[in-house]
Amino acid sequence: MTHKLELKNISLTYGKQQSLNDVTTVLESGKIYGLIGRNGAGKTSLLSLVASYRLPTLGTITFDGNELFEHPNHMKNIHFGYDRVYKDEAIENANKYLESVKLHRPHFDETYADQLISKFKIDVNKPLSKFSKGMVAAFHIMLGLANRTPVTIFDEVYLGLDAPTREMFYQELLKEHERNDRMFILSTHLVSEMEHLFDHILILHHGKLVADEDFETFTNRGVKLIGANEIVDEFTANKHILHEEKLGGTKATTIYGEFKEEDWRRAKLKDLEVSPISLQHLFTYLTKEEA
């Protein structure tokens, strides 16, 4: 079943500080969304609103056309995994915690959970408070995947994992994405490592959504031109320049915006070296602070 999560004009204010500013987007099932932003950009705030941890100051969030906050059926369709510290819990033991997940999560797949527990070597006989950082991260991942909720949010939970385990998670996520028509929202600043996972990019900067496009369209907007100063300048005259580097008579300019096939052809004819830039670079340039 296809689901639609709609955020309309979402703003969030903490005292005098505005954390989110007029965020509007529509997210759909079957896609992996990469929510990218620098520290303090408002990623966790936005995701906590989607998970109904709080109400926005302004705006509405709907799930399949119904208001999500306090909706008894739709709230169960959302899983929010974040860098959570387990301390003074009502249920201390990981095994017992899983028992309670089984009771409350209608889509929870126990067999899949067992597979993930052995794959990520999670010791579920231990109390959650005794888990190492890596084990907590693996536990979050296992929960998020096995919950099989239509909307699954991972807010940088993978940061506690070592590189090989993170790779295992990426592979498992892609397999699960193939098997089930779920919506995943992955918040990260490990952009280069995770970009192959994303179908759609959302970039938050200072609480504003500065990019909301499918991965290909978005990454095609970033182009690097290298060549003689005058020719590069001629090509980039009316473009949004993200970055410039000069070396003698040669210049490398990174632009953001529509760069048609004809532009590529013309650039080649004028001896310009043209290459697409990575999502990581695009993100860095778009969210770079002026000194």
Number of alpha carbons in the 13 Å side-chain half-sphere of residue 148? 18
CB of 84 to another protein, least distance (A): 7
**Alpha-carbon span 153 to 94, nearest angstrom:** 21
Instruction: Specify the pairing of strand 58-63 against strand 4-14.
Output: antiparallel
Which is nearer to another protein, 150 or 222 (by Cβ)? 150
CB of 12 to another protein, least distance (A): 11
**Alpha-carbon span 94 to 96, nearest angstrom:** 5
**Alpha-carbon span 210 to 202, nearest angstrom:** 8
Spell out where 31-173 has E strands.
32-37, 58-63, 66-67, 78-82, 151-155
CB of 100 to another protein, least distance (A): 7
Which is nearer to another protein, 26 or 55 (by Cβ)? 55
Our separate counts of H helices and E strands in the chain read: 10, 14
| Assigned token pair, 282 | 């695009």
CB of 81 to another protein, least distance (A): 9
- The residues of the shown chain that bind another protein, judged by CB under 8 A, are 44, 48, 51-55, 69-73, 75-80, 82, 84-85, 88-91, 100-101, 103-105, 149
Which is nearer to another protein, 133 or 175 (by Cβ)? 133
Which is nearer to another protein, 98 or 277 (by Cβ)? 98
| Assigned token pair, 84 | 């959570």
User: ∠ at Cα 206 (204, 211), nearest 5°?
Assistant: 30
Supply φ then ψ for residue 194, to 5 degrees: -110, -5
| Assigned token pair, 128 | 């959650």
CB of 166 to another protein, least distance (A): 22
**Alpha-carbon span 165 to 205, nearest angstrom:** 29
Which is nearer to another protein, 100 or 192 (by Cβ)? 100
**Alpha-carbon span 244 to 242, nearest angstrom:** 7
Which is nearer to another protein, 82 or 264 (by Cβ)? 82
CB of 96 to another protein, least distance (A): 11
Which is nearer to another protein, 72 or 164 (by Cβ)? 72
Helix (H, G, I), strand (E, B) or coil at 93: strand
CB of 250 to another protein, least distance (A): 49
CB of 72 to another protein, least distance (A): 4
Which helix (H) or strand (E) covers residue 27, if one does? strand 17-28
